[in-house]
């Protein structure tokens, strides 16, 4: 059962076309990253599925049903910024969130402990640091142990230790079988915690699918010999990989992911009378792949 299905979602802010016919689906038990640069429509997408924005056209379903307040109560959501009553303590704020989600108070101490805020639970929200506010927002998402979580830039404002803790928490939640939908502009974050990804750019969905399929670039074998010109000719005849480019002092052979075999290249060159003085397997960096995708 897909947890979330988005169908042809479009959104205008006045003349600005913030989302253009976006469709994707989030399978159960995945960590689904919505990746894109600032202003690409990530928060607009999440705002729509949490009913704080009205789409211009298109529809979405939660838990394979038409979305409702009841379906939102089954999801822990953190959108954009931590939104709490400044004059109330962290604990009192969670009591309100728990009451809206129709849970009792029994879970509050557990979630505060999870995000390491027990010590400051009775301090006013307005006295919290940015990182503590973010952690309180994550605690609020965890109330009632929901099976689906929505995180918009979950590591925003956290220090490196906090970032590591939250990523660990997300992995832990994933292990428990929960579905996590998160927006991020941090490629490295998506790569580290997500199983699936949808890439947005200027409100358009560029691609979506499994992280290791979408973000894995080609494999590249770099070779060099004393006579690169001859080596290049021989490699062209070999007809291996996708393409061969002479970038002396090294020649690059491009393969689909997982198809590069150093031994095959080495023995082929040797059998054709060329001794390689350089042989190396390189993976195209994720950044390069991401820029390639978003520059199309």
**Residues lying near other proteins in the complex (CB under 8 A):** 47, 50-54, 69-70, 72-73, 77, 79, 81, 83-89, 92, 95-97, 99-102, 140
Which residue in 55, 14, 15, 19 sits closest to 34, CA to CA? 19
* Residue 170 beta carbon to other proteins: minimum distance, rounded to whole angstroms: 19
Residue 172, classified by CB atoms within 10 Å of its CB into exposed (0-12), middle (13-18) or buried (19+), is: exposed
Q: Cβ closer to other proteins: 124 or 283?
A: 124
Q: Cβ closer to other proteins: 67 or 221?
A: 67
Q: Cβ closer to other proteins: 143 or 274?
A: 143
* Residue 104 beta carbon to other proteins: minimum distance, rounded to whole angstroms: 12
Q: Cβ closer to other proteins: 99 or 161?
A: 99
Q: Cβ closer to other proteins: 40 or 48?
A: 48
CB 108 within 8 A of CB 144: no
The encoded tokens of residue 140 equal: 């609020």
**Strands 179-184, 148-152: parallel, antiparallel or unpaired by DSSP?**
parallel
* Residue 137 beta carbon to other proteins: minimum distance, rounded to whole angstroms: 9
CA distance linking residue 164 with residue 106, whole number of Å: 27
* Residue 80 beta carbon to other proteins: minimum distance, rounded to whole angstroms: 8
* Residue 70 beta carbon to other proteins: minimum distance, rounded to whole angstroms: 7
Length of the chain: 296
* Residue 150 beta carbon to other proteins: minimum distance, rounded to whole angstroms: 8
Which residue in 184, 182, 140, 152 sits closest to 79, CA to CA? 152
Q: What share of the chain is helix, strand, coil (3-state, %, to 5)?
A: 35, 30, 30
Quote the radius of gyration of the chain (alpha carbons, Å): 24
The encoded tokens of residue 71 equal: 């379906």
Look up tokens 């996590």; give the residue. 180
Q: Cβ closer to other proteins: 17 or 289?
A: 17
């Amino acid at each position: 059962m897909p947890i979330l299905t988005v169908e042809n979602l479009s959104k205008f802010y006045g003349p600005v076309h913030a989302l253009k016919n976006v469709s994707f689906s989030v399978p159960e038990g995945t960590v689904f990253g919505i990746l894109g640069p600032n202003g690409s429509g990530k928060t607009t997408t999440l705002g729509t599925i949490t009913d704080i924005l009205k789409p211009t056209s298109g529809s979405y379903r939660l838990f394979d049903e038409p979305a409702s307040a009841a379906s939102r109560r089954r999801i822990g959501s953190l959108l954009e910024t931590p939104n709490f009553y400044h004059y109330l303590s962290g604990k009192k704020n969670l009591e309100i969130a728990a009451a809206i989600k129709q849970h009792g108070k029994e879970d509050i101490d557990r979630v505060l402990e999870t995000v390491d805020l027990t010590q400051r639970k009775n301090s006013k929200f307005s006295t919290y640091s940015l990182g503590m506010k973010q952690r309180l927002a994550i605690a609020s998402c965890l109330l009632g142990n929901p099976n689906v979580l929505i995180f918009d830039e979950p590591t925003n404002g956290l220090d490196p230790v906090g970032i590591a803790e939250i990523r660990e928490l997300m992995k832990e939640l994933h292990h428990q079988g929960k579905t996590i939908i998160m927006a991020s502009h941090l490629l490295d974050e998506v790569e580290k915690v997500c199983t699936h990804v949808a890439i947005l750019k200027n409100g358009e969905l560029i691609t979506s699918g499994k992280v290791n399929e979408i973000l894995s670039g080609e494999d590249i074998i770099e070779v060099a010999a004393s006579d690169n010109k001859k080596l290049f000719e021989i490699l062209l005849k070999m007809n291996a990989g996708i393409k061969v480019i002479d970038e002396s002092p090294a020649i690059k052979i491009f393969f689909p992911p997982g198809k590069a075999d150093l031994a095959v290249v080495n023995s082929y060159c040797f059998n054709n009378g060329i001794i390689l003085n350089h042989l190396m397997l390189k993976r195209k960096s994720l950044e390069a792949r991401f820029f390639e995708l978003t520059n199309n």
